[in-house]
Amino acid sequence: MREIDITRGIVENHVKSLEKAYESDVVIVGGGPSGLVAGGYLAKKGYNITILEKRLAPGGGIWGGGMGYKFVIIQDEAKGVLDDFNIPSTPYKDSYHVVDSITFASGLIFEATKRGVNIFNLTVCEDLLVRDGRVVGVVVNNSLTQLNQLPVDPITFEAKAVVDATGHDHDVVRVFSRKNDVTLNTPTGKPMGERSMFAETAEKAVVTNTKEVYPGLFVCGMSTAAVYGGFRMGPIFGGMLLSGKKLAGLLEDACKR
């Protein structure tokens, strides 16, 4: 056994992953449920999908269930997505399903990676590449660099489409709107801010507002609420799954354009 072989095995394979990401079909920023679902559907169809996740573990807000109680709820309408990702669930009352949050998060991550989604953890999207009124890629850095505020310059990946799947933060759209004199496809032309809890309305709006917010830039999941002024819904996750599924369809069209 040689330590240098262990090192080579890691570094060579990481570099191959980076090379695959240079020219992605789609870069999804944020490895929460909506991003993982969108990526998983697209990778199954053969698209080159990169997910950037700033934390150590993808899964976003799934792990904590509701207030740290480790289950989440899915409504009937989204049960098909759970099945597509082989996530077990238990029926609850008339129209709900209960899912163990640890099984849910790890199951989505495992299924997405099995399908070929190229996930980079500890990697943050800090800016976008914009050319001629269109988003054409992402500017990325190591999360620890950002966390420690070190003066280390980022690198870039190109993509036919970029997704803000960063949840409540809407980190990508927020930075893009702040840095550039742009009009977003929202009623005010700017991010509108998330509203208080109203689960039923929120769940519908998350899907309706899954769309292209600027040429080449899409929003899904909880970031749609922050961008389009939607309500929050608490620990019911069907809207996130359906948003990811809808997004996959939109991105397929975008990649063919």
Give me the residues paired with residue 137 across strands.
129, 158
Near ligand 48H by CB under 6 A, which window of 76-84, 88-96, 128-136, 234-242? 234-242
Neighbouring residues of 194: CB distance < 8 A, sequence distance ≥ 6: 168, 222, 225, 226, 229, 230, 231, 232
Site map for ligand 48H, 137-176, x if CB under 6 A?
----------------------------xxxxx-x-----
Near ligand 48H by CB under 6 A, which window of 6-14, 50-58, 178-186, 245-253? 50-58
| Residues 27, 225, 51: CA angle, nearest 5 degrees | 15
Helix, coil or strand: residue 26? strand
Site map for ligand 48H, 63-102, x if CB under 6 A?
----------------------------------------
Looking at 29, 207, 213, 219, which residue binds ligand 48H (CB under 6 A)?
29
> Closest separation between CB of residue 194 and ligand 48H, Å?
8
Whole-number Å distance between alpha carbons of 144 and 4: 25
Give me the residues paired with residue 92 across strands.
96
Q: For residue 93, is it left (φ>0), alpha (ψ between -120 and 50) or beta?
A: left
> Closest separation between CB of residue 6 and ligand 48H, Å?
28
Looking at 39, 61, 216, 238, which residue binds ligand 48H (CB under 6 A)?
61
Q: Which residues of 10-37 are buried (b: 16+ CB within 10 A; e: fewer)?
A: eeeeeeeeeeebeebbbbbbbbbbbbbb
- Under rule CB under 6 A, how many of the chain's residues touch ligand 48H? 31
Looking at 125, 182, 207, 217, which residue binds ligand 48H (CB under 6 A)?
125
DSSP 62: G
Give me the residues paired with residue 128 across strands.
138
**245 near ligand 48H, judged by CB under 6 A:** no
Near ligand 48H by CB under 6 A, which window of 5-13, 32-40, 76-84, 152-160? 32-40
The site for ligand 48H (CB under 6 A) is made up of: 29-35, 52-55, 60-62, 124-125, 165-169, 171, 197, 221-223, 232-234, 237, 240
